[in-house]
Amino acid sequence: ARSRHLSLRDLLARLSAPAGSEGQGTSRTGFLSAQTLGIEARQQTLQATLDWSFRLLILGEQQLFWRLGVFAGGSTLGAVEAVCGPSLGEDMLELLGGLIDKSLVLVSESAGEARYTMLTTIRDYALRHLLASQEADEVRNRHAAYYLASILRMNPAGTLTSQANSLERLEEDYDNVRAALRWTLES
């Protein structure tokens, strides 16, 4: 909203300044909003855009979206099905496709396998919805159980190839393992 009027250095200085600093004159949230005539409310802040996008999702997509917020660093289809899918049934793939089509979930390939991720800002938004839902503990428990089982399946005494594959998988899921451990310790 302000990039047309200020340099990147000036933007960073204003965003880094403590709230209420001299010369700032407005909150960071207000500073980032666009108060231009002709711009719809949903386009004035990132929060408003995400709220608007979320409201456009059908109920099943909303549920899958907030459940996907539990994954730190993305996940495989197997992980999505195990952690997010139990109550969504066979529609889970259709719902996931809908989130991909709406650019809320990104797909990449790693070691010949699809990996589903969200941009950090979108994931944080999804996680806030998950934590506000009544199923947050259940989803986080399934997430922790999935990654515990994944680690237990690794075979440290296997061949060098299987060890390398296990380490590669562990590296890809490092953030998920950390999140699962953090949840386990907290709960």
Q: pLDDT tens-digit profile of 124-172? A: 999 999 999 999 999 999 999 999 998 888 766 666 666 667 677 778 8
Residue 47's pLDDT is what?
84
- Hey, what amino acid is at 153? R
For 106, phi then psi, to 5°, come to -105, 150
133: left (phi over 0), alpha (psi -120 to 50) or beta: beta
Q: Give the angle subtended at the CA of 34 by the CAs of 32 and 37, to the nearest 5°.
A: 170
Structure token pair of residue 17 = 């300044």
Please give the average per-residue pLDDT across 15-34, as a whole number: 54
- Hey, what amino acid is at 8? L
Average pLDDT, the chain: 83
Please give the average per-residue pLDDT across 107-121, as a whole number: 90
Residue 65's pLDDT is what?
96
Please give the average per-residue pLDDT across 99-115, as a whole number: 92
Confidence of residue 112 (pLDDT cuts 50, 70, 90): confident
Residue 175's pLDDT is what?
92
Please give the helix or strand (H or E) that residue 141 lies within, else none: helix 136-153
Confidence of residue 25 (pLDDT cuts 50, 70, 90): very low
Confidence of residue 22 (pLDDT cuts 50, 70, 90): very low
